[in-house]
Structure 1
């Protein structure tokens, strides 16, 4: 009898624990009735991955989407967050003419992202965290719109460019700076899915250092690998470093989000 009672007690504890977490963190995979059971009473945070389609050296054109979505999946449990569907199209800029790239104008992108953020707020999320995988003009639009929606609707927004925020992690792991489709971004994708990395296609001449401000500009940008520093950031395809980088970047981003939410709460915002 004691064994049966112990089993039933353990089963009850597991059932209660399970009930505290949804069957999936992904908004496009969860049922609407289950969503209503968790948001906003039990879950108030949502992660929105944003990116674009553009060339990335020897990794996939959708690397800017692959990275933030994988990051969201890795940290969602720790944040008790849902994951909104990735916004896969963005403001590509100087690489828009490469094969497979897409360019969404700012005039179209701005109102669209605004409606997405307003929709997330309407669904009950208080903390809207944008995990952005693509920089350039897209960053400015995201920051502007996110700020406006936060003030308008009384929600709390945070926009993170993961590769910039984790630049110190790049230096820690690789002992040098990275680049667009360079050492750091290639490693991050390699840790997610090695089949997306085509080492056999790599040629160092595919890389060009980004120009210092006011020196030169070219459209299309002449290389699909853009280095942040001269002679630094060439991909090395090291599997162990890739895994280390992935884990340390995610840990740093996770802490930023946790600290920000804690400070919002402390301030009563």
Structure 2
């Protein structure tokens, strides 16, 4: 009987230690500061920063560029042993800025703001800062430039990923189409995250315009809320199973790439 109680006591002791070692949440705006200090940087030195904007996206939500990278960050954070920083919801919207509900942040305001966010993450002792960017255009160039400058300035490691272009092969594999801005690729990803944000019944092919070939034409505002890489594509004729498959395969590819970049950083002793 004595042996039983000793064993039981050891079991509860080990269980308590294990519980203490398991982080309660990966989200930086939900964690307590004392628990944060327990894990960063001793047990966690990677952070995922979702960035996006508010702009029209055909039959999905105006905040799709925020919804997608945040959902991706949450989905892959455990695998990467990473924290998830709050999403930067406003961005450099560009040619879609005139549409209802859109917001345009100037490069002059955005660049120093993202710079201070990256410096803040570095101050909080993250070694690897991974920007999961949900919005392209001029925002990509600014993120890449600022991230590189902060990495060199502070001796940290930064990576900027545009998920939709990085996973273009997955789009072709699952849908046999190229997708586009608010194309079936973004629409499917959002449907996997939250089907209530997708309104296929409102789809009209007149809402879609193929992007111009280089040096042919340019229009501001862009004439449609859906910009396609190939004329005639984009109709959201996929089902939930395809959307879920796409979501998982995109996340798997992105997570695998991040792990490989970190492995090579470590291998190089950077």
Q: 1:1-269 residue pairs with structure 2 within 5 A?
A: 1=1, 7-269=8-270
Partner of 1:226, secondary structure, is strand
1:230 offset after TM fit, Å?
1.5
CA distance in 2, matches of 1:174, 1:11: 50
1:118 offset after TM fit, Å?
0.2
- Does structure 1 conserve the Cα–Cα contact (< 8 Å) formed by 2:49 and 2:87? yes
CA RMSD in angstroms, aligned pairs only: 1.3
Q: Deviations over 1:139-194 (max 9, x none)?
A: 00000000000000000000000001000000011111111111100000000000
Residues 245 and 11 of structure 1: CA distance in aligned 2, closer, same or farther (over 3 Å): farther
CA distance in 1, matches of 2:144, 2:108: 15
1:15 offset after TM fit, Å?
3.0
Structure 2, unpaired ranges of 5+? none
1:204 offset after TM fit, Å?
1.6
Partner of 1:89, secondary structure, is coil
CA distance in 1, matches of 2:77, 2:266: 19
- Does structure 1 conserve the Cα–Cα contact (< 8 Å) formed by 2:134 and 2:163? yes
- Does structure 2 conserve the Cα–Cα contact (< 8 Å) formed by 1:178 and 1:234? no
CA distance in 1, matches of 2:222, 2:179: 17
Q: Which runs of 4+ in 1 moved over 6 A?
A: none
Structure 1, unpaired ranges of 5+? none
CA distance in 2, matches of 1:6, 1:136: 61
